[in-house]
Structure 1
Amino acid sequence: MIPRLAQTTAQRLAQGFPILTITGPRQSGKTTLARTLFADRPYVSLEDPEHREFAHSDPRGFLARFREGAVIDEAQHVPALFSYLQALVDERRRMGDFILIGSQQFGSMARIGQSLAGRVGRLELLPFSAAELAAAGWLPADLDTLLWQGGYPPLYDRPLSPNDWFPNYIATYLERDVRQLIQVRDLTRFQRFVRLCAARTGQLLNLSALAADSGISHTTAREWLTVLEASYLVWRLLPYHHNFGKRLVKTPKLYFLDTGLAAALLGIREAGTLGIHAQRGALFETWVVSELIKQRFNAGRPPDLYFWRDNTGNEVDVLFASGTRLQPIEIKSGATFVHEWLKALHRWQGYAGDETWPGWLIYGGEDSYQREQTEIRSWRSLATCRDWRDETT
C-alpha cells in the first residue's frame, strides 16, 4: 500500500467524532485506507446483497452485531441506517465508533445531514496525489505520462495499462452506477455527455451549450452534472466574487478530478501523443487544480479555491485566501518559460494592490526560481509533501 497523506487526518477525526466518513470516487483507495487504519474493526460491505437486505429490513439488528464499532463500506446504499446510527452513537458516546465509506458525497444526501449533524468527521479521498506517488517512488518520470496515467491506485499497484483499465472503469462505474443514480434511459446520450464534459475540462461551463451538444435538456444536463460532482468525477471551480472595479464573469469552470480519466474519455491512447494534443494545456491546468484540491482534502480542509476573470478576458487561473491576502496562481503547460506568461499576474497585482501576495506561476518545465517577484514553480514542486496553502501566511 502506498502511504496516504490523508491517514493522519483520518486518525485525528476519529479521535474527535463518533463517526468518520470517508468518501471519494470508486477505486480511489478508501477501503484500503479504512481497513489499514482500523484493522481491529469488523468490516462489512453493503454492496453484498445479503448484508444490504439485512441493513434495510432490520437496521437495529444489523448494527447490534457491532458492539465494538465497524467499518461499513458503500453505506450510501442504505441511507435509512443513518437515523439508527445517531441513536446508537449518542448512547455509546465513543469516538471513532463507526467508519462509513461511500462512493458518493454523503453531504449531498439529506438524510445524513439531518441525522448525524455534529457527529461526523468527514474525509474526502481522491486518487493518489503527485506527492504520494513521489514519496513511494512511483511518480512517472515525465509530465505527459503522469497526465495520461492519472492517479487511480489500480494503475500503480497492479500490472495494468490505462488503455485496459479506464475503459472497464468507465463501463462498470460511469455507465452502471452513475446511470442508476439518475435513471438514464439513453446510454448513448449519457456517454456523449460525459465525453463532452471531458472535452470542456479547464473551460468556463456553458451548461446550455453542453446540453444542446449532448442532445438533452438544460435541466437534464444540470442533473447529470450534479451526479458526476457527487461521485467525485468532476469539480466546478467557482469565480471569486470581489470585482476590484471590474465586471466579472460569474460562470464556474469545469474540471475533471483525474486527468487519466479525462484523457481516456478524450480518446488519448498513449502519452506520446499528448505533446501535440490540442487538450494538453487544459489537461495540465486540470492536473494542477486537482492537486491543489487533493492537498486540502488530505489535510481535512475545505477546497477553498477560486478563479478570477473579468468581462474583457483578464483572468487569474487560481486564487485562494492566505492570511489577510489572496494568493494568485497562473498555470502554463509549456516546458520553456516565456516572459509573456507573467502579464496576467502583473495585471492582477495592479487590480488587487495590497490585497494580493506575489504570484506563483506553475509550468511544465523542470526548474523553479524567482523572477520579477513571481515564484516560477516546476510541475514537480507539486510532488513535495509541503502544504502550499500556508506558505505566505
Structure 2
Amino acid sequence: MLSRTAEKLLPEYADEFPIVAVTGPRQSGKTTLVRKVFGDKPYVNLEDLDQYQFALEDPRGFLGQFQDGAILDEVQRCPDLFNYLQGRVDADDRNGLYILTGSSQFQLNREISQSLAGRVGNLSLLPFSITELKAADQFNTSIDHNLFHGFYPRILAKGSTPRRWLNAYIETYLERDVRQLLEIRNRDNFLRFVSLCAGNVGALLNLSRIATDCSITVPTATSWLSVLKASYICFTLQPHASNFRKRIVKTPKLYFHDVGLACRLLGIQEESQIKTHPLRGNLFENLIVADVLKTQYNLGNDPQLYFWRDNTGLEIDLLIERGRQLHPVEIKSGETYTASWLNNLNKWKTLAGDRVSHPTLCYGGEWSGTRSGIRTRNWHQFCQKPDR
C-alpha cells in the first residue's frame, strides 16, 4: 500500500474538528486512506443497499449504533443524515468523532455548509502525486508513460491495464454518477461533450463552440461542466486579475484532474501514440498543473493557482500566488532546452516588477540550472518543489 501525504494531515484535522470530510474523485483512494488512519472506527459504506435503506428510513437509529463515531463512506447519498450528525456532535463535544467521504464535491459541500458549518475539517484527495510516487520508489521518468497511465491508484498500485480500467471508469462512474445527477437521457451526446472537453485540455475554454458541436445550448453545457467539476473530473484555472496596464484575457483554461483519463477520452489507445499526438504539449501542461494542485491539497493549503495572458498572446502558463508574490511558471514538453523558452518569462518579469518570485521554466528534459536569472527545472524535480 502506497503512503499518501495526506496521512499526516488527517489526525491533525481530527484533533481540531468533530467531523473530518475527505472528498475527491471515485477511486482516488479515499476509503483506503481513512480506514488506514482511523482503523479503530467502524466503517459503513452507504452504497451498500441495506445500510443506505437503514440510514434513509431511520437516521437517528442508524447513527445510534456508533456512540464513538464511525467512518461514513459516500455519505452524500443520505442528505438527511447531516442534520442528525449536527445534533450528535454538538451534544457529544468530542473531536474526530465522524469521518465522512464523498465523491461529489457539490452534494457534500452543500450539505456541510447548510448543516455542519464550522464543525468540519475538509480535505481533498486526488489521485497520486509525483512526490508520493517518488517517495514509494514507484515513479517512472517517461513523460509519455505518465500521460498514458495517469495517476489513479488502481492503475499504479494494482497494475490494472490503463485502457481497460479507464474504459470501465468512464462507463461505471462517469456515465452513472454524472448522468444520473444531471438526468441526461442522451448518453452519446453527453460522452461527446466530455470528449470535447478533453480536446480543450490546456486551452482557453470555449463553451460556445463545444455546445454547438454537441447540439446543446450554452446553459446546458455550463451545467454539464459544473457537475464534471463537482465530480472531480475537470477543473478550471482562472486568469489572474493583475493587468499590469495590459488588456488581459478573462476566459479560464480547462484541465482534467487525471491526465490519463483525458488521454482515454481523446481516444488514445497506446502509449506510443502520444509522442506524435497534436495535444501532447497540452497534456503535459495538464500533468504539471494538476500535480501542483495535488501538492497544495495534500499540504492542506487553499490553492492559489492562476494563469496570465494578455490580448497580444503573451502568456504565463501557471502563476502560484503567495500573498503579494507571484511565482510564474512556463511549461514546455520538449526535452531539449531552448533559450527562447525564457522569452515570455523575461517579458512578464518586466511587467510584474517586484511582485515576481522565483520565475521558473519547467520542461520535459533532465537538466536543471539557472539562466538569465530564471530557474530551469526538469519536470519531475519541479513537481516535488513547485514554489521553492
Which whole-Å deviations, capped at 9, do the CAs of 1:132-181 have from their partners, x for residues lacking one?
Answer: 11111111231110111010000122232101111111100111111111
Structure 1 gap ranges (5+): none
Structure 2 residue 342 is the aligned partner of structure 1 residue 342: yes
Following TM superposition, by how much is the alpha carbon of 1:318 offset from its aligned partner in structure 2, in angstroms? Answer: 0.8
- Corresponding residue for 1:365? 365
User: What is the CA–CA distance in structure 1 between the aligned matches of 2:224 and 2:90, rounded to whole Å?
Assistant: 36
Aligned residues: 388
Change (3 A) 1:174 1:333: same
Name the SS for the 2:145 alignment partner.
helix
- Corresponding residue for 1:310? 310
Runs of 4+ in 1 over 6 A off after TM superposition: none
- Percent identity of the aligned residues? 49
Following TM superposition, by how much is the alpha carbon of 1:42 offset from its aligned partner in structure 2, in angstroms? Answer: 0.2
Following TM superposition, by how much is the alpha carbon of 1:106 offset from its aligned partner in structure 2, in angstroms? Answer: 5.1
Change (3 A) 1:343 1:247: same
User: What is the CA–CA distance in structure 1 between the aligned matches of 2:289 and 2:330, rounded to whole Å?
Assistant: 11
Structure 2 residue 172 is the aligned partner of structure 1 residue 172: yes
User: What is the CA–CA distance in structure 2 between the aligned matches of 1:324 and 1:221, rounded to whole Å?
Assistant: 35
- In 1, are the aligned partners of 2:76 and 2:107 still within 8 Å (CA)? no
What is the one-letter code of the residue matched to 2:84?
Y
1:69-84 to structure 2, matched below 5 A, reads: 69-84=69-84
- Corresponding residue for 1:296? 296
User: What is the CA–CA distance in structure 2 between the aligned matches of 1:246 and 1:313, rounded to whole Å?
Assistant: 11
Which whole-Å deviations, capped at 9, do the CAs of 1:331-359 have from their partners, x for residues lacking one?
Answer: 00000011111010011011111111241
- In 1, are the aligned partners of 2:106 and 2:231 still within 8 Å (CA)? no
Structure 2 gap ranges (5+): none
Following TM superposition, by how much is the alpha carbon of 1:108 offset from its aligned partner in structure 2, in angstroms? Answer: 6.3
- Corresponding residue for 2:134? 134
User: What is the CA–CA distance in structure 1 between the aligned matches of 2:56 and 2:73, rounded to whole Å?
Assistant: 15
Name the SS for the 2:232 alignment partner.
coil
After superposition, the CA RMSD in angstroms is 1.2
User: What is the CA–CA distance in structure 1 between the aligned matches of 2:165 and 2:300, rounded to whole Å?
Assistant: 29
Structure 2 residue 354 is the aligned partner of structure 1 residue 378: no
- In 2, are the aligned partners of 1:70 and 1:98 still within 8 Å (CA)? yes
What is the one-letter code of the residue matched to 1:223?
S
1:150-299 to structure 2, matched below 5 A, reads: 150-299=150-299
TM-score normalised by L of structure 2: 0.98
Q: Which moved more, 1:222-231 or 1:132-141?
A: 132-141
Structure 2 residue 77 is the aligned partner of structure 1 residue 50: no
Change (3 A) 1:383 1:351: closer
User: What is the CA–CA distance in structure 1 between the aligned matches of 2:380 and 2:58, rounded to whole Å?
Assistant: 52
Name the SS for the 2:5 alignment partner.
coil
- In 2, are the aligned partners of 1:307 and 1:317 still within 8 Å (CA)? yes
TM-score normalised by L of structure 1: 0.97
